[in-house]
Amino acid sequence: MPHRPPKSTFDIYREGGTTRDISLLIKLVLMVRRFRNQLDEALRRIDQSTARMEMLSAILNMQGPKSQTDLARRLRVEAATVTRMIDILGKEGLVERTPDPNDRRVNLLSISPKGEAVLAEIFRVYDRLRSHLLQDLSADDVEQMHAMIDLMTARLDEPEPAAQVVIEPLESVDRLRS
């Protein structure tokens, strides 16, 4: 019987099947998307969004002086995205920009008292949804999930290994003679 290479995940998926690996990553993506959608829906009721929450909470949580570049790096978004959002949050009085004394081209960011009040309200909404999502998980469950997600996130930051070269086994010499 000739050797058949294992089916690719594409072939399996095309045939309506899946693998545990495919299923796991799809479930992770869908769960995070659903959580974000539900959070956005709840935040819209108070005229806020997850994007605003991410920006404000990162500024609040980062220790020391923080530039727009630092914020973009932390949130893994383009600098232009941060600039647009900081422009809006600044006009609303939620974020303050001050020139960096060491580099006048750089603005340092901080949250205004009004911004902290808005963020506290955002966190009340977030905490309710987060509590609901994690309600039956033990502290050990949460720690295990942290470890797994940290490992996978670190792998995404590593360069992808070179494509594996698959060498097909040679056909039997006896079969070639027939």
pLDDT in tens, 36-68: 999 999 999 999 999 999 999 999 999 888 999
Confidence of residue 162 (pLDDT cuts 50, 70, 90): low
Question: For residues 117 and 123, what is the distance between their CA atoms, to the nearest angstrom?
Answer: 10
Neighbours of 5 (CB within 10 A): 8
Tell me what the mean pLDDT of segment 74-90 comes to.
95
pLDDT at 4 over 90: no
Question: For residues 63 and 133, what is the distance between their CA atoms, to the nearest angstrom?
Answer: 29
CA-nearest of 172, 168, 171, 173 to 5 is 168
pLDDT at 14 over 70: yes
The per-residue pLDDT for 132 is: 97
**Whether 110 contacts 94, CB under 8 Å:** no
pTM above 0.75, yes or no: yes
Q: Give the H/E segment covering residue 168.
A: none
**Is the domain covering 9-134 a CATH 1.10.10.10 domain?**
yes
Question: For residues 46 and 122, what is the distance between their CA atoms, to the nearest angstrom?
Answer: 8
